[in-house]
Amino acid sequence: MNNLVDFLIDPLTIAGALGALACFATIVTFAAPAMSEDKLGSRLKEVAKKREELRKRSRAELAKGTGSLQHKNANSFAKGLVDRLNLQKALADDTLSEKLIRAGLRGHAAQTMFYFYRAALPIAFGVAAFIYMMMFGSAWELHMKLGAVVGGIAAGFYAPNLYLKNLADNRRTKIMQAFPDSLDMMLICVESGMSIEMALQRVGQEIAPASVELAEEFALTTAELSYLPERRMAYENLARRTAHPGVKAVAMALTQAEKYGTPVGQALRVMAKENRDLRLSEAEKKAASLPPKLTVPMIVFFLPVLFAVIIGPAMIQVNEILGSQ
C-alpha cells in the first residue's frame, strides 16, 4: 500500500500522467473536426433544397396564368399574318417589350397581337372613314375627304400605342394606391422574423383583394428572388416593371440593405413613410388641378343656363308689353 502511495505521489509519475493527458487532449483537438458531423454543410443543403422547392413552386404558380401573369395565346390567324408579312421587322419597336411589361402583358403572344392590331387598325379605320365619307360626306370638298381618310389611318396607327400607354398608367395607379399599405405589412412581417421572400409572398396574398396588379408583381419578385443569380436583379426588375419613383426608391433601399448589411426593417419603415407622403402629395396635386379643369365645363354648360334663367323672364315681359301695344 505504501509502495502504491509512493508511486502515485512520485513527481515522475505525475509528470508522465500530465504529459499523457496533454497528448490525448492534443489528439482529440485535431481529430474532433474530422470526426464531427458537418452541420453547416447539412444546413446549407437544406437551405438549397428549400430554395429549389420555392423556385419550382413559384414557377408553377406563374405557369398557371392567373390574372395577367401570362397572356392568352395569340389568335392563329393573327399569328400567321404577322409571320407571313414579317411585321415584327417592318413595325419594329425597341421599347415594345418594356411597354407591354408595364401594361401587365407578358409573353410573345402579346407582342404578336400588338403588331397585328398596329397593322390592321389603320386599314380598318381608313375603310370606316371612307365609308362614312361616302354615306354622309358627299358634299365635302376633295381635300376634306382626303383629310378624313388620312386622319382615320393615322388614328388607327397610333391607337395601339395610346391604348397601351393608358393601360400602363392605370395599372401603375392601381399599384401605387396599395403600395404604401403593403410596405407597412412587409415591415410587420420582416420585424417578426420573416425573410424578404416569405414577406413578399405573404403580403401578396393579403393585398390581392385590394390590388391584383401589386399581388402579381410581388409574386414575380418572389419567383425571381428564388432563381436569379443576383437578388439585386429581382429588385431592379420590380422597379422597371412599375416605372414609379416610389418603387424605385424601395428597390434601391432593399438592395443597399442587403449589400451593406443595414437593417431591412428600418429601410422599409422610412420607405413606407415616404410613399405615404408621395401618395398624399399626388392627391393634393389632383385636388389643386380641379379648379382649372372645371372652368371650361362651367363656362360651356353653366353660364348659358344662368343667362337663360336671368334674361328669360325679362324677354317674356318685353314681348308681352310690345304685344299689348
3-state secondary structure 233-295: HHHHHHHHHHCCHHHHHHHHHHHHHHHHCCCHHHHHHHHHHHHHHHHHHHHHHHHHCHHHHHH
Q: What is the pLDDT of residue 172?
A: 86
Residue 30 lies in a domain: no
| Torsions phi, psi for 147 (to 5 deg) | -65, -40
Among the listed residues 230, 277, 276, the one whose alpha carbon sits nearest the alpha carbon of residue 254: 230
Residues 103 and 191 in one domain: no
Q: What domain range is 120 assigned to?
A: 76-172
Residues 181 and 167 in one domain: no
Residues 219 and 255 in one domain: yes
Percent of the chain exceeding pLDDT 70 equals 75
Residue 244 lies in a domain: yes
Lowest mean pLDDT among 10-14, 125-129, 281-285: 10-14
Contacts of residue 241, Cβ cutoff 8 Å, sequence gap at least 6? 101, 102, 217, 220
Residues 237 and 179 in one domain: yes
Residues 81 and 104 in one domain: yes
Q: What is the mean pLDDT of residues 259-286?
A: 81
Residues 194 and 265 in one domain: yes
Among the listed residues 204, 195, 208, the one whose alpha carbon sits nearest the alpha carbon of residue 265: 195
Residue 218 lies in a domain: yes
Residues 187 and 258 in one domain: yes
Residue 104 lies in a domain: yes
User: Is it the case that residue 252 has pLDDT exceeding 80?
Assistant: yes
Half-sphere exposure of 322 (CA within 13 A, CB side): 6
Residue 13 lies in a domain: no
Residue 8 lies in a domain: no
Q: What is the pLDDT of residue 96?
A: 77
Residues 140 and 194 in one domain: no
Residue 296 lies in a domain: no
Half-sphere exposure of 110 (CA within 13 A, CB side): 18
Q: What is the pLDDT of residue 87?
A: 67
Q: What is the DSSP letter of 65?
A: T
Among the listed residues 272, 217, 178, 211, the one whose alpha carbon sits nearest the alpha carbon of residue 264: 272
Q: What is the DSSP letter of 137?
A: -
Among all chains, which residue has been given the C-alpha cell 308689353?
321
User: Is it the case that residue 152 has pLDDT exceeding 80?
Assistant: yes
Rounded distance, CA 124 to CA 41, Å? Answer: 65
Helix intervals (H) in the chain: 2-8, 11-35, 39-63, 76-85, 87-90, 96-102, 108-136, 142-191, 196-207, 212-227, 231-242, 245-260, 264-288, 290-297, 303-324
Q: What is the mean pLDDT of residues 77-97?
A: 68
Residues 138 and 216 in one domain: no
Among the listed residues 125, 274, 126, 247, the one whose alpha carbon sits nearest the alpha carbon of residue 175: 247
Cell of 150: 388620312
Residue 305 lies in a domain: no
Lowest mean pLDDT among 92-101, 205-214, 284-293: 92-101
The domain tally of the chain equals 2
Rounded distance, CA 270 to CA 182, Å? Answer: 13
Q: Does residue 190 or residue 46 have the better pLDDT?
A: 190
Give the three-state DSSP class for 325. Answer: coil
Q: Does residue 153 or residue 30 have the better pLDDT?
A: 153
Over residues 18-58, the pLDDT tens digits come to: 777 777 777 767 666 565 555 545 555 665 565 566 666 65
Among all chains, which residue has been given the C-alpha cell 407591354?
100
User: Is it the case that residue 265 has pLDDT exceeding 70?
Assistant: yes
